[in-house]
Structure formats: C-alpha cells, structure tokens
Amino acid sequence: MEGVAPPLELLLAVKRTLEKGQPAKHGVHLYLKRYEGEFPAQVARWLALLQQGKETQELISGLSSQHRQVLLQLLERGMRGEAIYNILLNLEEEILEACHEELTNKLARLPFILLVPLLLFQFPAFLLLLFGPLLKNFFHSFGGG
C-alpha cells in the first residue's frame, strides 16, 4: 500500500488481526515487520516502552499528528484487554476523511502552483512575439533602410 498514511496502515493491520480473532499486539508486530520509516520506528519505541511497563504518554504527545496520538492511545487500551474494534472502525473513518480532505486541499492549490512554469516559460515567449516586430522596425529605421 504505497502512499497510504502510516497511521492508516497500522490501523488496517490491527483491524485485520482483530477480525481474525488475534490480539491487537499481533497486528502491531505484523505492521512493524512489514513497514519501515519514521512512524514505524516511533511505534516500535512505543511498544518497547509499553512492554517494559514504562510511561508512554510523553512519546505519544510528541507525535506530529493527532490521529497518530489517538491511534496509539487506543491500541494501548486494546493491549490492556479492552474491546477496541468498534472504536477502531470509527477512527478508520476519521483518518480516511482527513486523508480525503488533505488531498482535496492539495488539488485545490495545484492550479496556482502550475501557473509558475507558465509565467516563467510562456510569458517571455509571448513578449518576444509581441515586441519582435517592433524591435525589427526600430533597428531597420536605425539602419537607414
């Protein structure tokens, strides 16, 4: 799933394992085996802290996205034995909605970004077409012919 938001990848991995009747921890381990990057490294640190019985709140609050924070807090509850499947489904909808909103915003800015090459390349060519005959007449009149 190239290009999918990292928290959504983790959520889907855990959701699949829960649907198979396996614990949420197994889904987190499958996610960590399958993916590499910044977020999986943070998830690995979070899981190590959780397994050692240490406080994870500082690591969770240091995450950049609110969806990442909520997902790790929810998974922490799931690893303590709480039922999280329904909440996981709601969070999946929210993350998908946030992804769609981000894509919509980027697509809305795209026409303005594409105006830059238009101005840099086509506008000077238009000026040459506009002023070319004027300059030719100007130099012709200087030449005396």
pLDDT digits (tens, 9 = 90+) for 132-144: 888 888 888 887 5
Spatial separation of the C-alpha atoms in residues 56 and 58, rounded to whole Å: 6
Q: Tell me, rounded to whole angstroms, the distance of Cα 7 from its chain centroid.
A: 9
| pLDDT, averaged across the chain | 89
Looking from the CA of 29 toward its CB, the CA atoms found within 13 Å total: 9
Spatial separation of the C-alpha atoms in residues 23 and 33, rounded to whole Å: 16
Backbone angles phi, psi at 56, to 5 degrees: -105, -5
* pTM score of the predicted model: 0.75
